[in-house]
Protein backbone atom coordinates (compact mmCIF):
# COMPACT_ATOMS: atom_id res chain seq x y z
CA UNK A 1 0.00 0.00 0.00
CA UNK A 2 2.83 2.34 0.94
CA UNK A 3 4.56 1.67 -2.39
CA UNK A 4 1.34 2.45 -4.28
CA UNK A 5 1.13 5.86 -2.57
CA UNK A 6 4.75 6.58 -3.49
CA UNK A 7 4.16 5.59 -7.12
CA UNK A 8 0.98 7.70 -7.24
CA UNK A 9 2.81 10.69 -5.75
CA UNK A 10 5.61 10.35 -8.31
CA UNK A 11 3.10 10.19 -11.17
CA UNK A 12 1.19 13.24 -9.87
CA UNK A 13 4.40 15.23 -9.39
CA UNK A 14 5.64 14.25 -12.84
CA UNK A 15 2.35 15.29 -14.41
CA UNK A 16 2.49 18.58 -12.52
CA UNK A 17 6.00 19.30 -13.80
CA UNK A 18 4.85 18.45 -17.33
CA UNK A 19 1.93 20.90 -17.07
CA UNK A 20 4.22 23.58 -15.59
CA UNK A 21 6.52 23.25 -18.61
CA UNK A 22 3.56 23.21 -20.99
CA UNK A 23 1.96 26.46 -19.76
CA UNK A 24 4.46 28.89 -21.38
CA UNK A 25 4.25 26.93 -24.64
CA UNK A 26 0.45 27.23 -24.66
CA UNK A 27 0.63 30.93 -23.74
CA UNK A 28 3.10 31.60 -26.54
CA UNK A 29 0.85 29.76 -29.00
CA UNK A 30 -2.24 31.73 -27.97
CA UNK A 31 -0.42 35.09 -27.92
CA UNK A 32 3.34 35.29 -28.58
CA UNK A 33 5.65 37.06 -26.16
CA UNK A 34 6.14 40.14 -28.36
CA UNK A 35 2.45 41.11 -28.47
CA UNK A 36 2.09 40.43 -24.73
CA UNK A 37 4.96 42.84 -24.06
CA UNK A 38 3.34 45.44 -26.31
CA UNK A 39 0.11 45.16 -24.33
CA UNK A 40 1.93 45.34 -21.00
CA UNK A 41 0.80 41.82 -20.06
CA UNK A 42 4.40 40.69 -19.54
CA UNK A 43 7.68 42.43 -18.79
CA UNK A 44 9.52 44.07 -21.67
CA UNK A 45 12.78 42.11 -22.03
CA UNK A 46 14.60 44.82 -24.02
CA UNK A 47 17.95 46.16 -22.78
CA UNK A 48 19.87 49.42 -23.26
CA UNK A 49 22.82 49.37 -25.65
CA UNK A 50 24.61 51.49 -28.26
CA UNK A 51 25.53 49.58 -31.43
CA UNK A 52 28.14 51.13 -33.72
CA UNK A 53 30.56 50.33 -36.55
CA UNK A 54 29.24 46.83 -37.20
CA UNK A 55 29.86 47.00 -40.93
CA UNK A 56 27.36 44.40 -42.07
CA UNK A 57 24.08 42.62 -41.42
CA UNK A 58 23.94 41.00 -37.98
CA UNK A 59 21.26 39.27 -35.93
CA UNK A 60 20.27 40.80 -32.62
CA UNK A 61 22.07 38.09 -30.65
CA UNK A 62 25.29 38.87 -32.54
CA UNK A 63 24.78 42.52 -31.62
CA UNK A 64 24.44 41.67 -27.93
CA UNK A 65 20.74 42.59 -27.83
CA UNK A 66 17.82 40.63 -26.44
CA UNK A 67 14.36 40.18 -27.86
CA UNK A 68 11.89 42.84 -26.75
CA UNK A 69 10.28 46.15 -27.66
CA UNK A 70 12.69 49.03 -28.28
CA UNK A 71 12.84 52.76 -28.82
CA UNK A 72 15.82 53.50 -31.06
CA UNK A 73 17.76 56.70 -31.70
CA UNK A 74 20.37 57.50 -34.36
CA UNK A 75 23.60 58.68 -32.69
CA UNK A 76 25.67 59.18 -35.86
CA UNK A 77 25.32 61.75 -38.63
CA UNK A 78 23.36 59.33 -40.79
CA UNK A 79 22.00 55.78 -41.02
CA UNK A 80 21.62 54.28 -44.48
CA UNK A 81 20.40 50.68 -44.45
CA UNK A 82 17.84 50.44 -41.65
CA UNK A 83 14.32 50.38 -43.18
CA UNK A 84 12.44 51.81 -40.18
CA UNK A 85 14.72 54.87 -40.20
CA UNK A 86 15.24 55.26 -43.93
CA UNK A 87 17.62 58.14 -44.72
CA UNK A 88 17.87 58.75 -40.97
CA UNK A 89 19.96 61.54 -39.47
CA UNK A 90 21.41 62.20 -36.04
CA UNK A 91 18.68 62.42 -33.41
CA UNK A 92 15.99 60.68 -35.49
CA UNK A 93 13.99 58.18 -33.43
CA UNK A 94 11.67 55.23 -33.99
CA UNK A 95 9.45 54.04 -31.14
CA UNK A 96 7.97 50.66 -30.30
CA UNK A 97 10.15 48.50 -32.55
CA UNK A 98 9.77 44.76 -31.89
CA UNK A 99 12.98 42.73 -32.12
CA UNK A 100 12.74 38.94 -32.23
CA UNK A 101 15.30 36.22 -32.87
CA UNK A 102 14.94 36.62 -36.65
CA UNK A 103 15.54 40.39 -36.68
CA UNK A 104 18.71 41.67 -38.36
CA UNK A 105 20.30 45.12 -38.43
CA UNK A 106 22.85 46.72 -40.71
CA UNK A 107 24.82 49.37 -38.82
CA UNK A 108 27.66 50.40 -41.13
CA UNK A 109 31.07 51.90 -40.46
CA UNK A 110 30.74 55.33 -38.91
CA UNK A 111 27.10 54.64 -37.94
CA UNK A 112 25.67 54.28 -34.43
CA UNK A 113 22.23 53.46 -33.02
CA UNK A 114 21.07 53.60 -29.42
CA UNK A 115 18.61 50.90 -28.32
CA UNK A 116 16.48 51.42 -25.20
CA UNK A 117 13.47 49.60 -23.72
CA UNK A 118 10.29 51.14 -25.16
CA UNK A 119 8.56 53.57 -22.79
CA UNK A 120 5.04 53.28 -24.28
CA UNK A 121 4.19 56.84 -23.28
CA UNK A 122 0.49 57.65 -23.84
CA UNK A 123 -0.10 60.22 -26.57
CA UNK A 124 -1.39 63.57 -25.33
CA UNK A 125 -4.53 65.09 -26.82
CA UNK A 126 -4.56 68.86 -27.19
CA UNK A 127 -7.45 70.81 -28.72
CA UNK A 128 -9.07 67.44 -29.54
CA UNK A 129 -6.09 66.38 -31.68
CA UNK A 130 -3.28 63.85 -31.19
CA UNK A 131 -0.08 65.23 -32.75
CA UNK A 132 2.68 62.71 -33.53
CA UNK A 133 6.12 63.88 -34.63
CA UNK A 134 8.06 60.66 -33.99
CA UNK A 135 7.58 57.60 -36.23
CA UNK A 136 6.97 54.22 -34.68
CA UNK A 137 4.34 51.80 -33.46
CA UNK A 138 1.78 53.03 -30.94
CA UNK A 139 -0.34 50.48 -29.07
CA UNK A 140 -4.08 51.08 -29.36
CA UNK A 141 -5.78 51.43 -25.95
CA UNK A 142 -2.39 51.69 -24.27
CA UNK A 143 -1.09 54.84 -25.96
CA UNK A 144 -4.07 56.04 -27.98
CA UNK A 145 -7.78 55.14 -27.58
CA UNK A 146 -9.46 52.92 -30.14
CA UNK A 147 -11.85 54.57 -32.57
CA UNK A 148 -12.08 56.35 -35.91
CA UNK A 149 -9.72 59.24 -36.63
CA UNK A 150 -9.34 61.84 -39.33
CA UNK A 151 -5.70 61.99 -40.42
CA UNK A 152 -3.76 65.05 -41.56
CA UNK A 153 -0.14 64.70 -42.67
CA UNK A 154 2.25 67.66 -42.52
CA UNK A 155 5.50 66.73 -44.26
CA UNK A 156 8.57 68.88 -44.88
CA UNK A 157 10.61 67.21 -47.59
CA UNK A 158 14.34 67.02 -46.99
CA UNK A 159 15.93 69.06 -49.76
CA UNK A 160 19.40 67.57 -49.37
CA UNK A 161 18.29 64.11 -50.53
CA UNK A 162 18.19 63.21 -54.20
CA UNK A 163 15.19 60.92 -54.64
CA UNK A 164 13.54 59.49 -57.73
CA UNK A 165 9.85 58.94 -58.45
CA UNK A 166 10.03 55.40 -57.05
CA UNK A 167 11.38 56.56 -53.66
CA UNK A 168 9.63 59.84 -52.87
CA UNK A 169 9.90 61.51 -49.48
CA UNK A 170 6.83 60.30 -47.64
CA UNK A 171 4.95 59.82 -44.38
CA UNK A 172 2.61 56.85 -43.98
CA UNK A 173 -0.08 56.14 -41.39
CA UNK A 174 -1.25 52.55 -41.03
CA UNK A 175 -3.01 50.10 -38.73
CA UNK A 176 -1.31 46.75 -38.08
CA UNK A 177 -1.70 43.68 -35.93
CA UNK A 178 0.51 43.44 -32.84
CA UNK A 179 2.91 41.14 -34.69
CA UNK A 180 3.48 43.86 -37.31
CA UNK A 181 1.42 42.15 -40.02
CA UNK A 182 -2.03 42.89 -41.40
CA UNK A 183 -1.32 46.24 -43.02
CA UNK A 184 -4.47 48.31 -43.57
CA UNK A 185 -7.41 49.02 -41.30
CA UNK A 186 -10.02 47.39 -43.52
CA UNK A 187 -11.35 50.81 -44.47
CA UNK A 188 -9.16 51.62 -47.46
CA UNK A 189 -5.50 50.78 -46.91
CA UNK A 190 -2.52 52.89 -45.90
CA UNK A 191 -2.80 56.67 -45.64
CA UNK A 192 0.23 58.28 -47.28
CA UNK A 193 1.46 61.76 -48.11
CA UNK A 194 2.24 60.56 -51.65
CA UNK A 195 -0.77 58.33 -52.42
CA UNK A 196 -4.34 59.49 -52.86
CA UNK A 197 -6.92 57.75 -50.68
CA UNK A 198 -10.62 58.44 -50.99
CA UNK A 199 -10.98 59.18 -47.28
CA UNK A 200 -8.24 60.21 -44.80
CA UNK A 201 -9.99 58.22 -42.05
CA UNK A 202 -8.30 55.43 -40.11
CA UNK A 203 -9.96 52.90 -37.82
CA UNK A 204 -7.90 51.94 -34.77
CA UNK A 205 -9.13 48.79 -33.06
CA UNK A 206 -8.16 47.03 -29.84
CA UNK A 207 -5.07 44.77 -30.08
CA UNK A 208 -3.75 46.76 -33.06
CA UNK A 209 -0.88 49.16 -33.66
CA UNK A 210 -0.96 52.66 -35.06
CA UNK A 211 2.12 52.46 -37.29
CA UNK A 212 3.70 55.66 -38.62
CA UNK A 213 6.76 55.88 -40.88
CA UNK A 214 8.83 58.87 -41.99
CA UNK A 215 11.16 58.72 -44.98
CA UNK A 216 13.19 61.61 -46.34
CA UNK A 217 11.40 64.32 -44.35
CA UNK A 218 12.78 67.08 -42.14
CA UNK A 219 12.38 67.55 -38.41
CA UNK A 220 9.17 69.46 -37.88
CA UNK A 221 7.09 67.03 -39.93
CA UNK A 222 4.15 65.54 -38.06
CA UNK A 223 0.82 63.74 -38.22
CA UNK A 224 -2.47 64.86 -36.66
CA UNK A 225 -5.22 62.44 -35.63
CA UNK A 226 -8.59 63.91 -34.70
CA UNK A 227 -11.11 61.54 -33.04
CA UNK A 228 -14.45 61.21 -34.84
CA UNK A 229 -17.55 60.79 -32.72
CA UNK A 230 -20.14 59.89 -35.37
CATH number of domain containing 156: 2.60.120
Task: Summarize pLDDT for 109-156 with one digit per residue, the tens.
Answer: 888 999 999 999 999 999 999 999 999 999 999 999 999 999 999 988
Domain that holds residue 214: 125-228
Task: Summarize pLDDT for 148-202 with one digit per residue, the tens.
Answer: 999 999 988 776 555 444 456 788 888 888 876 666 555 556 788 776 655 788 9
Domains of the chain: total: 2
Q: What would the mean pLDDT of 191-215 be, rounded to a whole number?
A: 82
Instruction: Establish if 132 belongs to a structural domain.
Output: yes
Task: Summarize pLDDT for 68-100 with one digit per residue, the tens.
Answer: 999 999 998 877 777 677 677 889 999 999 999
Task: Give yes or no: residues 154 and 95 share one domain.
Answer: no
Instruction: Establish if 24 belongs to a structural domain.
Output: no
Query: pLDDT higher for 82 or 2?
Result: 82
Task: Give Cβ neighbours of residue 65 (< 8 Å, ≥ 6 apart).
Answer: 46, 47, 49, 51, 99, 115
Q: What would the mean pLDDT of 42-50 be, rounded to a whole number?
A: 95
Instruction: Establish if 29 belongs to a structural domain.
Output: no
Please report, for the chain, how many H helices and E strands are present, in that order: 2, 17
Amino acid sequence: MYKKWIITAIIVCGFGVFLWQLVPIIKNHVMPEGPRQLLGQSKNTAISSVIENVGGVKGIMQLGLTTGIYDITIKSDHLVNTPVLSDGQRGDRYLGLTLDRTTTFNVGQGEAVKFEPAEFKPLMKRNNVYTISTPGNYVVNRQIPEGRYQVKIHDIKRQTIQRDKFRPATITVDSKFLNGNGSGDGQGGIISSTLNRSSPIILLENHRLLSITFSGVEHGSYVELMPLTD
